Every structure is written in C-alpha cells, then in structure tokens.
Amino acid sequence: MGEYDLWKIFPRMPGKVIIGDITIRDGFQHEEKFISTAAKKFYLEELIFAGCRDIEVTNLGNPFFMPQFKDAEELLAHLRSDWFKKRCARKGVNYEELTLTCITIREAAVDRAVELCRKGIGPDRLLMMVSTEEEHHFANSGTTLPEYWKEAENCIKKCNAAGMKMCGTVSTIWGSPIGGATELKDAVEFSKRWLEIGAHDIEHADHDGSASAPEVYRYFSMILDAMPNPDLHIAHYHETKRLASASVLAALQAGITHFEATLGGLGGQPANFLDDTPVKGTGEYYYEDPRYVGLICLEDLLVQVDEMGLKHGYDVDRILWLGKKMEKTIGRRLRSEAVVNGRTLKEGHMKFARPGLKTRKEKMGEKPGQKIPAEWGKTAVLPEQYRP
C-alpha cells in the first residue's frame, strides 16, 4: 500500500503556520479612493484582536506618490499609544508579541522611520524590495539593481542602529509582468544577498500571479536547502488566476511556515488615481482588468490551513466577520469565497436535509446507518482486471 499521510510524504511540512496581514498597506495601496484613517485604525485593531501578530501598518514613502498613506504617522502613533496598549491587555493580547512593519522602498523612507523611532512611534520592522528582473525593479524603485543593493546595505545599517529589523523582499521569482520569464536560481542568490548585507528575514514574492504549484515547491525546496531556517522565509502570493491556494499548499509541502495575505484579496500595484485626482503611483498599470488583481485572501487562506489542521492563532470566524465589514468599507464585492460560503462544518447543514429518510429506511427494512444491501459482502470485491 502507498503512504497517504501528507506529513510523512512531505516531512518538511509544518504543523503550525504564521500568517501576517498586509491589508492596510498592500491591500489599500491599490484602491482609487482614500480609505479613512478611522477605518484603517479599526481594521488594524480588529486584525490584532482576531489573532494577527505580524501586521503591515503603512508605507513611509513620499505621500506625493501614494497619498493613500498620508496618515502614516497618525496610524503608528495610535498603535504605540498607551490607550491601545491597555486595550490589548484587556483583550488578552500580549503587546510585546506584535511586530509592526512599514514599507520603506527608498532611503528617505528609512530615514523617516528612524526619526519616528526617536519620537517613540517607530515601527519594529521595515521592508525594502528588489526584483530579479531589472525592468520591474526600475518601475518600483527608479534605480538600477546594483545602485539599489548599495542603498539597501546602507539602509540596513541605519535600521539596525535604530533598533529596527529589515525584511528584504525578492520579487519576480516566477516571472515578471514586464520582462517575462525569470530564473529561480537568481532569486535564491538574491535571497542570500539580503542575508549577507544584514536583513532579518526575506519575503519571497509572486507579485503578478506567475507562480505555479510545481515551481513553487521547487523554488522553496531550493531555498530551504540553501537557507534551512524556515523562520527566515515568508511566502507572498498575488492572485490573478485562482492558483494561489495551490501555491500555498506547495510551499507548505516544501516546508514554508510564514505567509502573508489581505482581507478580501485586496491589493496590487499602487493606484495612480485617488478620489477625483490622478496621482503619481508607480506609473501606468501593468494589468488589463482590476477585478483580477490582488493578493491571496486572508479569509480563504485561514479556512484552508484551519481545515488542514494547522495551528495558526487566529479566530477564523472573527476574520470572516471582518471580511464582510471590509466589503462595506470598500463598497464592492471582494474576492473571498469563505465570507459567503463559510467554513466546512463537520456536523453538516442539517437544515438542508429532505424529510422522510428515516421513514423510508424503516419501510425498506434497513437499519439506521446501513449503506449497502444486507445480502452483499462486507467489503467490495474488485473484478480481476481492476486489481492492483
């Protein structure tokens, strides 16, 4: 007989995962309307109270390019306030377990983060980003790759000196929306480079939904062979072809334990329009239809790992409730299926049962729970041509 236990087939597959939320930053950066500061505070709080311990708060880049984040300092001040810390204590949340992350693509944003630390409201962790495909990298940062690597090295020194950690993102691992196909080995090398210059961990990003399950398994197996500590690695998937859940499973099978997601699958390229005004963003969109852009849904991801029996630390029902609230905040139907269809209940949905089964079985002389005719054998006998 074959082996059917996933954990024996894939011995690296974890029994526990850590799922970070990036709704307020990556999710909202794609929206072409300003999400109120009050709404951002609400979702930051509620995500934390529902179990999130690693959360992206905002982008510290120039608000001229992304005015969605003009309230960055107010959000950080709110989360650093004594009032919020007391609320965490009342909710049973250990505030010291929280990791507040801000995106700082360029050095000016890192300098801003350092200054916020001096004020006592700085983040715990920053994130900078390279793409293995240089055209995509240039679209995001405005620099060449060698130029950016030197800047990143200097930024990590500043970051660490201020008491913050740096996450280095590697993007276009499985392909680029601008330059096309890429090589996995380049992303492995870039990951090593981040660690070489002092990064604390690495976000491995599929920023346009290029990943396929076999290539995800192959890549993360290469990564963990080269850098075996799973705590170093975070899987970040965009959802453009409804394949991200397969990629999550493939990453789990390879041994990855850390993931990121957004409520409703929000997110994508920074908006170049906000409310009634064109804004800089990162230029023209490189997608044709905004309905098929975004990240993997936090709601659906949690249901997936929860039903696999993996520990995750979230109140899944609370997250499904939040997903429904988010649809009202955004003003449209979002991409989570779980917020509509709910979780798979082991006890079933007996309200949908048709009346009369018990009576019918009694009439047919069948016992309760009997599933095959009484005169048949206890087990099926396969015809010889179908036997193994």
Element (H, E) at 30: none
pLDDT score, position 345: 84
Residue 1: per-residue pLDDT = 57
Domain assignment of residue 381, yes or no? no
Number of domains in the chain: 1
Stretch 270-293: mean pLDDT: 84
The 3-state DSSP class for residue 146 equals: helix
The enclosing domain of 123 has a CATH number of 3.20.20.70
Residue 223 lies in a domain: yes
| Residue 133 maps to a domain | yes
Quick check: is 358 in a domain?
no
Of 180-184, 222-226, 282-286, the range with the lowest mean pLDDT is 282-286
Give the residue from 29, 85, 81, 26 showing the smallest Cα distance to 56. 26
What's the rounded Cα separation, in Å, for the pair 383 and 368? 29
Return the percentage of the chain with pLDDT > 90, whole number: 86
Average pLDDT over residues 147-169: 98
What is the tens place of the pLDDT at every residue in 13-54?
Answer: 999 999 999 999 999 999 999 999 999 999 999 999 999 999
Q: Using CA atoms, how far apart are residues 302 and 310, in angstroms rounded to an integer?
A: 10
Residue 3 lies in a domain: no
336-368 pLDDT, tens digit per residue, is 999 999 888 888 888 889 999 999 999 999 999
**291 has a pLDDT exceeding 90:** no
| Residues with Cβ within 8 Å of residue 43, at least 6 apart in sequence | 23, 24, 263, 322, 326, 329
Residue 355 lies in a domain: no
- Give me the domain span that covers residue 289: 10-341
Q: What is the mean pLDDT of residues 107-113?
A: 98
Helix (H) or strand (E) holding 136: helix 134-141
Residue 145: the pLDDT is 98
Cβ(20)–Cβ(295) under 8 Å?
A: no
* CA-wise closest residue to 191 among 220, 166, 170, 216: 170
Q: Where are the beta strands (DSSP E) in 124-265?
A: 125-131, 165-171, 201-206, 233-237, 258-261
Contact 341, 245 (CB under 8 A): no
Contacting residues for 205 by C-beta, under 8 A, at least 6 apart = 129, 169, 170, 171, 173, 236, 238
Which of 3-7, 48-52, 203-207, 215-219 is predicted least confidently? 3-7
How confident is the model over 281-297, as a mean pLDDT? 82
Out of 40-54, 113-127, 230-244, 305-319, least confident range: 230-244
What rounded mean pLDDT belongs to the chain?
95
What b/e string do you get for 214-249 counting C-beta neighbours within 10 Å, with b at 16 or more? Answer: ebbbebbbbbbeebeebebbbbbbbbbeebbbbbbb
pLDDT per position as a tens digit, 293-328: 889 999 999 999 999 999 999 999 999 999 999 999
Among the ranges given (90-94, 202-206, 266-270), the one the predictor scored with the smallest mean pLDDT: 266-270
In a domain, 356, yes or no: no
- Read off the pLDDT band of 237 (50, 70, 90): very high
Q: Is residue 262, in this structure, part of any structural domain at all? A: yes
The residue type found at 353 is: A
Angle at 264 (CA atoms; ends 184, 166), nearest 5 degrees: 50
pTM of the model: 0.93
